[in-house]
Amino acid sequence: MKVMIRRIYSLGFLFALLAGLNTFLGHQYHETQLRAEIKRNMTFKLDYIIEGITSDLDQVENLIQTADTIIRMEEDETKLRWFFQEILNQNSSYLSIYLSTPENKTIYANGWVPPPDLDART
């Protein structure tokens, strides 16, 4: 009878050990899968953000090239100010746009008039 009770306890211990091992290995597997999914998700989000920033910077680069062309073609200060104001109106993320020449002549898109002693070259 003692032998049978020992076998039952041994089998119970063995099943408990196997259940614990199964739980531990299952947890390890799911943790690995979860970490891989989190990494994929973060990579996707990072790529999305980088694409957005790259797109915004490309747009700014194109706008600067367009402004350069307009500045070279147009000499009328009023038309240049109007062009800069349109850029500001269409792009709410821009705080200010101004043009300063080597002769210290400055055109501000928002109409701000600088003090006479302001030197925009410095």
Which pLDDT tens digit goes with each residue over 51-75?
A: 999 999 999 999 999 989 998 898 8
Number of Cβ within a 10 Å radius of residue 105: 10
Same domain? 10 vs 36: yes
Higher pLDDT, 58 or 121: 58
Note down the domain range covering 112.
Answer: 76-122
Same domain? 4 vs 27: yes
Distances from the Cα of 117 to the Cα of 3, 23, 102, 120, 121, angstroms: 105, 77, 15, 10, 12
- Out of 55, 73, 91, a domain closes at 73
Same domain? 68 vs 82: no
Whether residue 73 contacts residue 43, with contact meaning beta carbons closer than 8 Å, is answered with no
Q: Provide mean pLDDT across the span 99-106.
A: 81
Prediction pTM value: 0.62
List of residues 6+ apart from 110 with CB closer than 8 A? 85, 88, 96
Q: What is the pLDDT of residues 5-22, one digit of tens each?
A: 888 999 999 999 999 999
Domain count, the chain: 2
Please report where in the chains the tokens 């009328």 appear, as a residue: 76
Same domain? 58 vs 87: no
Same domain? 30 vs 59: yes
Q: Provide mean pLDDT across the span 71-82.
A: 87
